[in-house]
């Protein structure tokens, strides 16, 4: 961590990312000169190259940089921001409960020549605002997100993060587990072993990155699939307390959206981008238990640039209890 007159900077690294730099851009140094946590809005810049060699985000036809990387980087720094700058006790885990993202310039996400010597720079501007402050400590944070790729503004979004006390976090998990065991009549499992879809149908290439099964489709166009928890893939490893990872849920929503748009409207998966996300996480999902994902694609439309676009409404459930609800927009680049 280094400090100068304009920012606080630190390297953010992990097994799923190249090094990124988080830069704090405070509007005032008052709190930090007094070694006190912030009580108002704080601004940050997360900068580095677009992912290269990532086992998931770089798996595909290579036509686009994966905008889903934005969600993952916000997830990785969100908890740190709360603990470091807003005085949230470190023993309180941060859990994202909502996430929205809109790709505003698809051209900036095109990968272009796959043989570039220097990957494009991705800069994410984050605005963090405290929510439900009690005794000077926020119970959550709301993030505003603005993304530039090679200095081209191309994505905006929001995210909501809640911090739970360790006891409350444990109680929520135990309550969820008890609810799953207490109502066997609500058991919801697939008929037989699920068969993964062809990776090409969901814009991937590696079979190990496929997280949805061959779906069934109703007469009204509703598509139902099952989520593969992929215990063989460390990218989708569950949390230490046995919960399905947020990355797995988002990737399942992405794959199901692309699959539904392709099956319903003929969208080409290799040229498809989920350009709009609005996701609400409603509950816990226990790793190792079946997850059902239902998608309802809307009619084929055209975006402002004339590209084919399909809205999709999705619901993820476990034992008939809601885990996540989402609205997405799948756009096919021309």
What is the structure's pLDDT at 219?
80
By C-alpha distance, which of 200, 332, 230 is closest to 272? Answer: 332
Q: What is the pLDDT of residues 180-219, one digit of tens each?
A: 666 665 567 777 677 999 999 999 999 999 999 999 999 8
Per-residue burial over 303-323, b if 16 or more Cβ lie within 10 Å, else e, is eeeebbbbbbbbbbbbbebeb
- Pairing mode, if any, of strands 137-149 and 8-14? unpaired
**Alpha carbons 34 and 29: distance in angstroms, whole number:** 9
Strand-pairing partners, residue 140, are 131, 162
Q: What is the pTM of this model?
A: 0.89
Q: What is the pLDDT of residues 69-112, one digit of tens each?
A: 999 999 889 999 999 999 999 999 999 999 999 999 999 999 97
**Alpha carbons 257 and 246: distance in angstroms, whole number:** 16
Residues in CB range of 140: below 8 A, 6 or more apart: 130, 131, 132, 160, 161, 162, 163
What is the structure's pLDDT at 175?
67
Q: Extract the residue ranges of the chain whose pLDDT is less than 70.
A: 1-18, 28-36, 113-117, 169, 172, 175-187, 192
């Amino acid at each position: 961590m280094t400090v100068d007159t304009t920012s606080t900077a630190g390297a953010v690294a992990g097994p799923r990312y190249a090094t990124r730099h988080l830069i704090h851009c405070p509007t005032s140094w008052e709190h930090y000169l007094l070694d006190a946590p912030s009580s108002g809005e704080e601004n940050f810049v997360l900068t580095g190259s677009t992912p290269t060699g990532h086992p998931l985000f770089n798996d595909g036809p290579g036509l686009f940089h994966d905008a889903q990387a934005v969600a993952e980087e916000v997830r990785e720094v969100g908890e740190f921001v709360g603990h470091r700058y807003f005085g949230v006790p470190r023993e309180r885990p941060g859990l994202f409960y909502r996430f929205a993202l809109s790709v505003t310039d698809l051209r900036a996400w095109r990968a272009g020549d796959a043989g570039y010597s220097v990957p494009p720079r991705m800069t994410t501007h984050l605005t963090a605002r405290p929510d439900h402050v009690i005794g000077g400590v926020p119970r959550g944070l709301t993030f505003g997100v603005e993304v530039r790729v090679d200095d081209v503004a191309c994505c905006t979004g929001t995210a909501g993060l809640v911090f739970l006390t360790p006891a409350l976090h444990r109680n929520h998990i135990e309550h969820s587990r008890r609810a799953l065991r207490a109502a066997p009549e609500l058991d919801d499992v697939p008929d037989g072993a699920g068969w993964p879809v062809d990776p090409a149908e969901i814009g991937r290439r590696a079979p190990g990155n496929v997280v949805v099964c061959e779906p069934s489709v109703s007469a009204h166009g509703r598509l139902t699939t099952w989520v593969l928890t992929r215990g063989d893939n460390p990218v989708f490893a569950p949390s230490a307390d046995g919960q399905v990872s947020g990355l797995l849920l988002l990737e399942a929503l992405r794959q199901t959206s692309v699959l539904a748009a392709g099956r319903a409207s003929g969208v080409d998966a290799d040229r498809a981008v989920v350009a709009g996300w609005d996701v609400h996480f409603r509950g816990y999902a226990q790793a190792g238990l079946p997850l059902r994902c239902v998608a309802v694609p809307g009619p084929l439309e055209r975006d402002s640039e004339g590209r084919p676009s399909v809205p999709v409404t999705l619901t993820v459930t476990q034992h008939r209890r809601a885990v996540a609800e989402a609205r997405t927009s799948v756009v096919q680049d021309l």
